[in-house]
Amino acid sequence: MGTRKDEHLSGERDERRPAGELEAAVMAALWAAGVPLTPAQVQAEVASDLARTTVTTILTRLYEKGTLDRERQGRAYVYRPLQDPHGLTALRMHSELNRDSDRETVLARFVAQLNPDDEQVLRRLLEDGR
């Protein structure tokens, strides 16, 4: 077998985490902090072996997706989540729903796949919302 670019001289591969996992770790750190954090602070909370440039890239991507807000603090930005974890999940659900042109069919299939307890919660929420 040949060597790969991501292998160390010793032959071990870098343990790389998928982007989604890194984004989730960054979001968890920001939610836990409860205050805006700089990339260096996020790096310290997530993992010291993660490069600050990687953390900054993840934060920038989350900001561009509309998941985070940022403001300049000195020479750096500080980042804060725009949604709590539940709000972010709801936003993702809306995003998925908006990807399909036949919303009624998507909603019908979603409801058909709910377990009975979730169906009752949804019924109650719809009734209370009127």
The answer on pLDDT for 62 being more than 70 is yes
The answer on pLDDT for 14 being more than 50 is no
User: Poorest-confidence range of 13-27, 42-56, 97-111?
Assistant: 13-27
What is the pTM for the complete model shown? 0.69
Q: Are 11 and 3 in contact (CB under 8 A)?
A: yes
Could you count the other beta carbons within 10 Å of the beta carbon of residue 104? 8
Q: What is the mean pLDDT of the chain?
A: 85
**CA triplet 92, 126, 116: central angle to 5 degrees?**
80
Is residue 79 within a helix (H) or strand (E), and if so which, with residue range?
Answer: strand 76-81
Mean pLDDT of 85-98: 88
Q: Which residues contact 61 (CB under 8 A, 6 or more apart)?
A: 23
